[in-house]
Chains A and B, each alone.
Chain A
Amino acid sequence: MAQSNELQTGLYKRALLAGLWEQNPTFRLLIGMCPPLAVTTAVKPALTMGLSVIFVLVCSNFVTSLMRNLLKPHLRIIMFTLNIATFVTICDLYLRAYLPRMSEILGAYVPLIIVNCIIIFRCEACASKCGLMVSILDAIGMGLGFTIALCILASIRELLATGCIFDLRVMPRGFVPWLAMQMPVGAFVTLGLLLGLASVLTRKKRS
Chain B
Amino acid sequence: MPKIKYFIQQSWLLIVSSFCFGLLIAASNAALSPRIELNLANKLNKLTIVLLPAAKQFMPLDADIEVEVRGGKKEKIKLYKALSETEQCVGWSFKAAGEGFSGKLELVVAVDKNFEKIAGFDVLTSSETPGFGDQIKMSYFRSQFAGAPVEELTVVKTGQPTNIDSEIVAITGATVSSEAVVNILNSFLSSIKKQMKEKGLLGDGTK
A residues sitting closer than 8 Å to B (CB atoms) are: 41, 67, 70-72, 75, 78-79, 82-83, 85-86, 89-90, 93-94, 96-98, 100, 104, 107, 161, 179, 182-183
Residue in B closest to A67 when the chains form the complex, CB atoms: B13
Question: B25 touching A89 by the CB < 8 A rule?
Answer: yes
Stretch from B47-55, B125-133, B197-205 forming part of the interface with A: B125-133
The 7 closest A-B pairs by CB, nearest first: A86-B21, A179-B131, A97-B35, A97-B32, A182-B130, A100-B39, A93-B32
A104 to B21, CA, bound (A): 25
Instruction: Indicate whether A90 sits within 8 Å of B25 (C-beta atoms), given known contacts A82-B14, A182-B130.
Output: yes
Asked if residues B32 and A82 are in contact (CB atoms below 8 Å), the reply is: no
CA–CA, A107 to B33, complex, Å? Answer: 17
8 Å CB contact of A182 from B17, B24, B125, B131: B131
Question: Does B10 sit within 8 A of A, measured CB to CB?
Answer: yes
- Name the distance in Å between B106's Cβ and chain A's nearest Cβ: 10
Distance of A94 Cα from B28 Cα, bound (Å): 8
Closest to A162 in B: B130
Asked if B160 CB lies within 8 Å of chain A CBs, one says no
Q: A97-B32, A183-B129 are in contact. List 15 more A-B contacts (CB 8 A).
A: A70-B13, A71-B13, A79-B13, A86-B24, A86-B25, A89-B25, A93-B28, A96-B32, A96-B36, A96-B39, A98-B35, A100-B39, A107-B125, A179-B131, A182-B131
What sequence of 0s and 1s flags, for each residue 38-80 of chain B, a beta carbon within 8 Å of any chain A beta carbon? 0110010000000000000000000000000000000000000
CA distance A41 to B25 in the complex (A): 31
Q: What are 12 inter-chain pairs, A to B, with CB distance below 8 A?
A: A67-B13, A71-B13, A72-B13, A79-B14, A82-B14, A83-B21, A85-B21, A96-B36, A96-B39, A161-B130, A179-B131, A182-B130
Q: Which of B89-141 contact A (CB under 8 A)?
A: 125, 129-131
- Cβ-defined contact, B25 with A183, below 8 A: no
Docked Cα-Cα span, A71 to B12, in Å, equals 10
Q: Is B158 an interface residue (CB 8 A)?
A: no
With known contacts A79-B17, A86-B21, A86-B24, A72–B39 Cβ distance under 8 A: no
State the CA gap A67–B33 with chains docked (Å): 30
Q: Is there a chain A Cβ closer than 8 Å to B86's Cβ?
A: no
| Residues from chain B with Cβ under 8 Å of A161 in the complex | 130
Q: Once the chains are docked, how many angstroms separate the CA of A157 from the CA of B14?
A: 43
Is the beta-carbon distance between A90 and B28 smaller than 8 angstroms? yes
The residue that B29 contacts in the complex, of A67, A78, A93, A98, with Cβ under 8 A, is A93
Q: Identify the closest chain A residue to B34 (Cβ).
A: A97
B191 at the interface (CB under 8 A from A): no
B-side contacts of A183, CB under 8 Å: 129-130
Q: How far in angstroms is the closest Cβ of chain B from A154?
A: 15
- The complex places the Cα of A125 from the Cα of B89 at a distance, in Å, of 63
Taken residue by residue from 7 to 30, chain B's Cβ proximity to chain A (1 for < 8 Å, 0 otherwise) reads as: 000110110011001001100110
Contact (Cβ within 8 A) B24 A90:
yes
Contact check, A75 vs B11: say whether CB atoms are below 8 A apart. yes
C-alpha spacing A86/B19, complex, angstroms: 11
Complex CA distance for A167 and B25, rounded to whole angstroms: 34
Contacts of A104 in B (CB 8 A): 125
